[in-house]
Copies of this chain bind each other. A is one copy, B any other.
Amino acid sequence: MAEPARRPGRPRDTSIDERALAATRELLVERGFDATTIQAVAAHSGVHASAIYRRWGSRIELIEEATFPGLSPPSVQPTGNLHRDLRRFIRAYLAAFDAPASRAAAAGLLAYHQASSRPRPPDLYLRVSARPQFQDILRAAPPGTIDLNIDPDDVFDMLLGAILTRTLLARITARHRPIERTVEMIIRLLQPQPSRTVNQDT
């Protein structure tokens, strides 16, 4: 009630932003997702709660900016070597999720968005998706290395799943496979197939 819906543009005093974001990351790691409230961030950072609310509409937006700020684009310039480009891309992608604060926030954010009745939260997903960067890598690959019949989006969906599994399930599955295995799976999906040996049943 104290703060009406007006939200001015991002303020010039970035030190206040940075203090709040840093405190958010620290709280996520030290006390977990549920305990990382606006009030806790205010107490931890010394930034007034009202100032935090002016910059971020909710604790979810604050946590998202604190943990997944610069995922897009992963800074991988395609070299044309598909294997090497994919490996660098997957490493960069995983590294973004692998920061302690991101790791502490990811499942909680997912649970929030899953339970949310908002139609969908495009901002975070678009930042996290990196779908265009993946397509840039495929475009830079030498002719003949990628099956022209494959939909890159289908392969990216599989890659996203592999990243999710590594990020969210590693603790639960207790599987810690070399990144190279994921790279090889993606290469395998992309490469031209000689003939469809699939049994098409009717």
Contact = CB atoms under 8 A, between A and B. Distances in A.
B169 A154 contact: no
Interface stretch (A17-25, A45-53, A67-75, A173-181): A173-181
- Give the number of times this chain occurs in the complex, counting copies: 2
A169 B160 contact: yes
Contacts of A125: 169, 172-173
Contacts of A171: 113-114, 120
B164 A169 contact: yes
A191 to B, nearest CB: 5
Interface bin, chain A? 35 or more
A185 B175 contact: no
A58 interface: no
A77 interface: no
Nearest to A79: B201
A155 B185 contact: yes
A169 to B, nearest CB: 7
A158 B157 contact: no
Contacts of A174: 120, 122
A82 interface: yes
A104 B108 contact: no
25 contacts: A84-B199, A104-B114, A107-B111, A107-B114, A108-B114, A108-B115, A110-B110, A110-B111, A113-B172, A120-B174, A122-B174, A125-B169, A129-B173, A151-B181, A157-B162, A157-B185, A158-B158, A158-B162, A158-B185, A160-B169, A161-B162, A161-B163, A161-B165, A164-B169, A191-B193
